[in-house]
Amino acid sequence: MQFVRADGTFVTIELFTAKELDFDGMTSCVLVSHDVTEKRELQTKAQLADRMASIGTIAAGVAHEINNPLTYVVGNVRAIHEALSRTDAQTSREELAQLAAEAISGTERVEVIVRDLKTFSRAQTEAVGPLDVCAILESAARMAVSEIRLRARFVQDFEDVPLAVGNAQRLGQVFLNLLINAAQAIPTGHVEENEIRVVARGVGDRVSIEVRDTGSGIAPEHLSRIFEPFFTTKPVGVGTGLGLAICHNIVSSMGGTITVESALGKGTTMRVVLPAASAVAPRARSMHPSASPKRGPKRILVVDDEPLVAKALSRTLRGNDVTVATNGAEALALIQAQPFDLVFCDLMMPGMDGIELFERVPPEVRGSFVFATGGVFTARAQQFLATLPNRTLDKPFDSKLVRKIVADLDALDVVPRSQPSGPNRDVPPPENGGARR
C-alpha cells in the first residue's frame, strides 16, 4: 500500500495481519507494517539496469537493422534530388515515385525500431491495465532479431489471445529477456536445424505465453535455481544472473506465474501465465456538444523548436490555415491574440517547453492541444503525459494520423476551438486496441 508522508513524498508499506488474539479481554488483531520504499526503488533500478543490459547485448544488431534501410533511404533521396536538379528529364515521374515509395518504406522500418527502443529503455512505470501481449511479443522479437536470425528460425503461433492485465514496459522486458536467453542457448550457424517458437493462447481466465527453443537445455540440478538472483549457467562475462530473477519478480507482481520445462540437449520452454482482462470499459471523453460544428479548413498552430520539423508538419496540414511558432513564448503570444482549432505542440523545447505553455494558456484552450514528442526522457514529462487526456503524436509523424486528428473535428459533434472563452473541449484520445486473432 502507498501512503503520503507529511512532506508530500510517498512511502510504500507492506502490511501483515496476524491471527486474532485476546488482548485485555477483547478480541484483537496485530498489524505489522514494513517500510519497503527503498527496497522497491532498488528493485526498479535493478530492472531498468537489466533492461538496458539486454539492449546493450543487441545494440550492434539494432545498428545493423537501422543501417540497412538507411542505406537505400539516403541513396534514393539523393537520386531524387539529383534528378530534380537536372534540367534534362532523364528520370520519369514513375521512377521518382518508386524511389520515394522505397525511401518511405525504409523510414517506416527505422521508425518501428526506434519506437521499440524507446519502449524498452524508458523509465519504469507502475501503471497496470489491459494490454495486447501479441503486440508486445512482436516488439520484443524485433528487438532480439539480431540474436535470433543467425541461430534459429523464428515462429509466432498466436490464436484467440485475449487482452491480459499487466504493465507493457515490464512485460516487454520479460519477453525480451526470454527471447535473448532462448537465442543464446543455440549455437550460431545451424538456422534450419533449430527453432524458437512463441506460442500465445487464452486458457480460461488466463493468458498463456510460451517461449520454446531447441537449444542446449538446462541440467536437472540447475532447474530449481534458475530464478535465484545471480545464478547463471552462462560463461563468465555473459549475463549478470539477474535476468530470470527479475522476470520472476515482474510476472509475480502482475498476479502471474513463470515456470520452466527443460531437458539437456532437447531445449527449453519458458511459460508465462497472466490474468486475462475482462470487458474493457471504453475510455471516457470529455466533450461538449455544439449545434453547429465548424467544417472545412481549420486554423492550426504548429509549435516546434526545429524549423524543419515544423515545416514538414505544415506540409502534411496543407489545405488548412497553418501558423508556425518556433518557441513556447511565441506560441503563447499567438494563442492570446487569436483562436486556433488545433495546436500541435512539441513537448520538449528549450526555454518555455510544451508543459509550461500548456499550463499558461487558459483552461478552456487546453483541449485543443495535441502533443508531439521524439522521446520522453524526464520524470516530469512522463508524469505529465500519463495524466493527460489529450492525444499525443510520436515523431516521426504518421501523416495519416495527423490528417485523421484534423478530420475528427468535423466527424465529432464538438468544436475544440482554442479561444479565450467558452467551454473546454478535449481532443479525444485514441481508442484502445482489441484482442489479437
Strands 267-275 and 206-213, bridge-based pairing: antiparallel
Q: Are 164 and 131 in contact (CB under 8 A)?
A: yes
In a domain, 13, yes or no: yes
Do 149 and 232 belong to one domain? yes
Retrieve residue 382's grid coordinates.
512522463
Containing H/E element for 210?
strand 206-213
pLDDT at 58: 64
163 neighbors 277 (Cβ within 8 angstroms): yes
Q: What does the chain come to in residues?
A: 437
Helix (H) or strand (E) holding 432: none
Q: What is the mean pLDDT of the chain?
A: 79
Q: With 60 as the cut, is the pLDDT of residue 341 above it? A: yes
Interior angle at CA 422, CA 419 and CA 427, nearest 5: 70
Has residue 329 been placed in a domain? yes
Rounded CA-CA distance 174/47 in Å is: 10
pLDDT score recorded for residue 159: 86
Residues 323 and 384 reside in one and the same domain: yes
> What gap in Å lies between CA 40 and CA 273, rounded to an integer?
23
262 burial via Cβ count (<10 Å: 0-12, 13-18, 19+) = buried
On whether residue 183 sits in a domain, the answer given is yes
* Cα torsion angle, 156, 160, 162, 164, sign: negative
Query: Is 200:133 a contact under the CB 8 Å cutoff?
Result: yes
Highest mean pLDDT among 7-16, 37-46, 103-112, 131-140: 131-140
What CATH number should be reported for the domain holding residue 149? 3.30.565.10
Tell me which of 74, 103, 120 is where a domain ends.
120
Is residue 15 domain-resident? yes
Do residues 152 and 271 both lie within one domain? yes
Q: Bigger pLDDT: 40 or 272? A: 272
| Sequence-ordered list of residues with C-beta below 8 angstroms from that of 418, at least 6 positions apart, any chain | 301, 335, 339, 340, 341, 342, 343, 361, 364, 365, 366, 367, 368, 369
Q: How far apart are CA 209 and CA 131, in angstroms?
A: 14
Whether 28 and 20 have beta carbons less than 8 Å apart is answered as: yes
> Does residue 421 surpass a pLDDT of 80?
no
Asked if residue 74 belongs to a domain, the reply is yes
Judge if 145 and 248 occupy the same domain: yes
CATH number reported for the structural domain that contains residue 105 in this entry: 1.10.287
Q: 352 and 243 in one domain?
A: no
For residue 309 the three cell numbers come to 520539423
Q: What mean pLDDT comes out for the span 367-395?
A: 81
The reply to whether 110 and 88 lie within a common domain is: yes
Summarize the confidence of residues 395-418 as an average pLDDT. Answer: 70
Residue 127: per-residue pLDDT: 67
- How many folded domains does the chain comprise? 4
Does residue 283 sit within a domain? Answer: no
**Same domain? 207 vs 141:** yes
- Mean pLDDT is highest, among 56-70, 230-244, 316-330, for 316-330
Q: For residue 31, is pLDDT > 70?
A: yes
Q: CB neighbours of 57 closer than 8 A, spacing ≥ 6?
A: 147, 180
Q: What percent of the chain has pLDDT over 70?
A: 76
Q: Which range (16-30, 316-330, 346-360) has the least confidence?
A: 16-30
pLDDT value at residue 215: 93
Q: Which residues contact 271 (CB under 8 A, 6 or more apart)?
A: 208, 209, 210, 258, 259, 260, 261
Q: What is the pLDDT of residue 343?
A: 94
Q: Is residue 21 part of a domain?
A: yes
Please give the average per-residue pLDDT across 411-427, as a whole number: 39
Whether residues 379 and 334 fall in one domain = yes
**Structural domain boundaries enclosing 30:** 1-35
Integer Rg of the chain from CA? 26
Q: Is the pLDDT of residue 427 over 80?
A: no
Residue-level pLDDT at 57: 60
- Indicate whether 152 pLDDT > 90: yes
- 135 and 269 together in one domain: yes
pLDDT band at 371 (very low <50, low <70, confident <90, very high): very high
Whether 315 shows a pLDDT value over 80: the answer reads yes
Q: How far apart are CA 193 and CA 186, in angstroms?
A: 10
pLDDT digits (tens, 9 = 90+) for 387-403: 888 888 888 888 888 98
Contacts 24+ apart (CB under 8 A), 72-78: 72/102, 72/103, 72/106, 73/103, 73/106, 73/107, 73/110, 76/100, 76/102, 76/103, 76/106, 77/103
Residue 267 shares a structural domain with residue 136:
yes
First vs last C-alpha separation in the chain:
37
pLDDT score for 221:
84
Residues 230 and 303 in one domain: no
CA distance 85 to 98: 18
Residue that wins the pLDDT comparison between 52 and 129: 129
Closest Cα to residue 148, out of 111, 198, 217, 112?
198
- The CATH number for 338's domain is 3.40.50.2300
Q: Is residue 265 located within the same domain as residue 331?
A: no
- Say whether pLDDT at 348 is over 80: yes
246-259 tens-digit pLDDT: 788 889 888 899 99
> Is 422 a residue whose pLDDT tops 50?
no
DSSP secondary structure string for all residues of 285-298: ------SS---SS-
**Is residue 389 situated within a structural domain?**
yes
Mean pLDDT value across residues 335-358: 92
